[in-house]
Every structure is written in structure tokens, then in C-alpha cells.
Structure 1
Amino acid sequence: MSLPTLDEQVELIESATRILSRMPNLVERSAHHVLIVGDVHGSPTTLKHLEWLLEEHNFELVVFLGDYVDRGSAQIEAVDFVLRLLIECPHRVILLRGNHELPYLNYRYHFFRAVLGAYPEHVWHLFNQCFAQLPYCLVLNGEGILMHGGISKDIVHIRALNTHPKGMLEPPDEVQQLLWNDPYDFEGTFAPNVFRAGFWLFSRTALEEFLEANSLCWLIRAHEPVAGGYEPRWDGLLTTVFSCPEGSPDGRAAVLVLEDEKRTVVHIG
């Protein structure tokens, strides 16, 4: 897959940025046939599988849970793929922000180098200005919430997200927690996450309290490699979807299809 020319790349990023800048931090949508994609991380395997899925099925809504870049061999191709989908179908595609859509992280984990291998440095800055416009969460059908990482110990009512300004390259800590926090089994609600310094683990109790406060029933997130790419927890209150086989513990990843009350796992790799 050849990369766009410099002018084409800049036009693609700027067009997507304009669309994203009009979206709130918390998006609310209703749909009955939904494709949910976890971390892509520049995986060419995942991109090929997604191309096939989108050709074979007419999804009402396609939701990406973030982490398009870093690690894989097709990082620019991956982010261009999702940006083109957004531009072609802005009402059917939701791109959420992951922790690797933070400039300090994608500088460290090789997206910076990938961009500089093909374009001048200002293109990396344009990508990150685009990432800064990505929404953080999606409330689906008024029932569930989708995000990259996990609930924040400092945000009780999720609709308060829309009081935060858009376009922040590095959002405040309480918002970044949505991109970083992880579920864990322990007593209490939140505990320091020793694996992700400065962020938090949240318990089933914390999630139950959050869902009740926001009149929601479940959470779907990405962020953690899990065997098979799919892991339901806590009697279905929480589900992790991971879509990059190269980063999975068993070399298998997945996407999730929601059809009303039915959930279908489609494996990759």
C-alpha cells in the first residue's frame, strides 16, 4: 500500500480534523448493527481484515476505540485508513482517542519516526492536532459506554466531559485517565496502577457506581492485550476488545459485532 503524497496527506489530515473539531468530547449515538474495533497499532493484518469486513457487511455504525499508531509496520497506513473512513461516512464512523494518540507517547513509541521516514516533521504535528480533536467516549443506545482505557476516579458524571475544551494535545489528568486506567479485582474502588505510573486501577465496585451514576449498563474498552482479543468480565459489565494480533499474548485478536442484544466475536489472526 503506497502512502499519499505530501499534499494529499496534509489534505487528508486537515479534512478529518475539521470533521472531528465539530464533535463533542462525549458522543451519543443509537444504532442496532455496530462494529467495534479495539487497538489497531499499525497492524497490516488488522487492516486487511477490516477491509474485508467492511466490504462484506453494511454496519450501521463503526466504532474504533483508539490506538491506531505505534508499534506496527503500517502505522501511517492505519491512521490514514480510519481517517478516510471518517471522511467518507462521518455519520457512520466514530474514532475515539487512545493513549497512543497523545504526542508524548507516540513520539516515544515510534510513530514520530514512522512519519519522519516519509514526510517532513510538521506532518507529525498535524497528525497530533487531529488526534487532539478525537472524542474520548461514546454512549451507545443510552445503555452502554465505550472508551479506550477505563473510568476516571475524578469524573463521576461522564457528560461533564463536554465541559472540557476540545483540541488539547495533553488533556488534564482526570481526562487522560479515560485513556489509561485498567480494571482489576480488589477491594475498594481505585488503586494506583504500578504498571502505568500515575494512573489507576478500578474495581468492579467502582464501575458499578459509575454506571449507576450515569444510568448505564455496561462498558466496552480496549487498551489491554487479552488472549483471543476478547475478554468479558464482571458478569458482562465490562468487556475488553483488542484488535492487533501482533500485540496479543496468543497471536489472536478480535473485533466485536453488536446486533441489538446479540454479541458476535470475529477473530483476527
Structure 2
Amino acid sequence: METRVLDGIINRLLEVRGKPGKQVQLSEPEIRQLCLVSKDIFLMQPIFLELEAPIKICGDIHGQYSDLLRLFENGGFPPRANYLFLGDYVDRGKQSLETICLLLAYKIKYPENFFLLRGNHECASVNRIYGFYDECKRRFNVRLWKAFTDCFNCLPVAALIEEKIFCMHGGLSPELRNLDQIRNLKRPTDVPESGLLCDLLWSDPSKDIQGWGPNDRGVSYIFGADRVLDCLKKLDLDLICRAHQPADKKPKFGFGTFTSTKSPTPPSRIKSFLGAMV
């Protein structure tokens, strides 16, 4: 993708800073190119990212484009800071297209400093229902939605920071025995209805159980603090960092509240982020 074209797209997407709700009308060929080029980058990089600090970790955006811009204003626009987003870029909010286009553009511009994980809403069967399909159809056409689907099917699904902080959108899986299982997942792929990939995008922690239990979402599992501690010990990790739930719903597991990923001995072993930045 020509630098001039990419920079023009980014500049237009940033022109609406301070104008909440104002749409940016990129052309269909421009958006298709963002999907195709970023897809190739995702496939060139591993499905399980291994990253270094410092890096800012961000939770669900869900089409809230003004919030995304405000997040960059607070944390620093790329490349001033390195970023890892934990998924759920589309659906629910009114500007999923602007949101995902800026994120893909930054991925293309700074492929070694800007990282995007897959969330459960980066899946055709989900975003067909919760708003992204309708936004693509209303503003462009269904073919463009399918181009995004092809791109989403190539996103990485988990990350490891400094070999100690395990990041994903959803949570743990009863099938997870070692990290090579994630490294060996194949792409492109849709999200299956069960199994390791499904759980990484869908499962939730719960303070009310030990072990594993059925998830009220109707997909995947909930897991207790004992499963978190077991996973950390088995995989020699310090922290699990995930999104997928509002902050007021995150279980604290009796360890207190984790406040800094830089702490050598974090008081909590699992942290949830939704529309937040660490």
C-alpha cells in the first residue's frame, strides 16, 4: 500500500477529532485495500504474539470512535506509544467502520508497534447480528462486510508480554495445557462453537465457582480463581489480562485490584479491561 495513500486515509480519519459522531466517508476501494493489506500482515505475524514492554493494553472499543480517538489523545498517537488491543472493535456503537479502519491503518503503518487481537465480535455470526453488518450494508454493501470477515479470520488470538503477561479477549480454556497449542492454531479460520479458540474469545472468570462451569452467554465456560492460579503456575506466568466484560463486572478473586502491569508482584492475578487502557 502506497505510503501516500495510507497517510491520506489516516489523516482523514483524524480530521474529526473533537467532532463526536461525525462520519468519515472513505471510499470502498480504500477500505478494501486496508482489509487486504492488513490481512497479509496478520498472516505474516504469529497467531500468538510475543511482545515486549512498554506497551499499552486496551479493551473493547465497540464502534465508539470518539472514545478511540480520546484514548489515543491520552495515551499518545502511534508511533509515540506501542499498543495491544484485546478485540471487539465493531458492533453496538455507531461508528464501527471508522473504528476498524483507523486500527487497520495503524497496523499497516506500524506493524511492529501496533497489535490487534481478535475478539468474539470479530466473527461473522456475531457481527451479523449486533450492528456491523447493518452499518456496512447501509453505508456501502454486503460485499465489503465479507471483506472484513476475511480479514478478521486472520487476526491473532492471544499475546504474551515479557513472557509473563498472558493476554486474550475472553479467558482460559479447559483444553489449554501449553502455549504451543495456541501457536499451532491455523488461520484463516472462523470461530468454532467450542474448543480452545472459542474459549480464548468467549470464556469469563467468576468469583462464584471453583473449577469450570457453564457460561450464561450460552457459549464456552466460566472459570474460578483456582483455574487462574493453576494456569499461572503451570505456564509460569504472572498475570492474565483480558477484556470482554465491563469493569464493574470483573471478579477480583479476593486478591485485591491489580493496578499496574509493571508491578513485579501484582496483588491480583487476573485483570479485565473494557474500553480502558493500561
- Deviation for aligned residue 1:236: 1.3
| Structure 1: distance between partners of 2:43 and 2:193 | 18
Cα distance in structure 1, aligned partners of 2:250 and 2:24:
31
Amino acid at match of 2:270: L
Partner of 2:200: 178
Give yes or no for contact 1:230–1:242 (8 Å, CA) kept in 2: no
Note closer, same or farther for the CA distance 1:172–1:157 as it changes in structure 2 (3 Å cut).
Answer: farther
- Is 2:38 the partner of 1:8? no
Match of 1:240 in 2: 272
Q: Does 1:79 align with 2:111?
A: no
- The aligned residue for residue 157 of structure 1 is 178
Does residue 137 of structure 2 align to residue 105 of structure 1? no
Q: Which runs of structure 2 are paired with 1:183-222 in the superposition (5 Å)?
A: 183-193=205-215, 195-222=216-243
- Structure of higher RCO (CA pairs closer than 8 Å, 6+ residues apart): 1
Q: Secondary structure of the equivalent of 2:146?
A: helix
Shift of 1:231: 7.4
Larger relative strand fraction: 1
SS at match of 2:68: helix
Amino acid aligned to 1:220: C
Deviation at 1:210, TM superposition (A): 1.1
Q: Distance in 2 between matches of 1:102 and 1:142?
A: 28
Question: Kindly tell me: are residues 171 and 24 of structure 1, through their superposed partners in 2, closer, same or farther at Cα, counting changes over 3 Å?
Answer: farther
Is 1:22 aligned to 2:24, yes or no? no
Give the greater-gyration-radius structure (CA).
Answer: 2
Alpha-carbon contact 2:79-2:113 (below 8 Å) kept: no
Aligned to 1:141: 162
CA distance in 1 between counterparts of 2:251 and 2:116 reads: 21
Moved more, 14-23 or 230-239: 230-239
TM superposition shift of 1:55 = 3.4
Q: d(CA) in 2 for partners of 1:222 and 1:198?
A: 16
Contact 1:129–1:169 (CA<8 Å) still a contact in 2?
no
Q: Which runs of 5+ in 2 are unaligned?
A: 1-22, 256-266
- Residue 71 of structure 1 aligns to which amino acid in structure 2? R
Equivalent position of 1:37 in the other structure:
58
Alignment RMSD (CA, Å)? 1.9
Q: 1:167 aligns to what? A: 188
Asked if the contact 2:39/2:154 (under 8 Å) is kept, the reply is: yes
Given candidates 92, 96, 120, the residue that maps to 2:141 is 120
Partner of 1:160, secondary structure, is helix
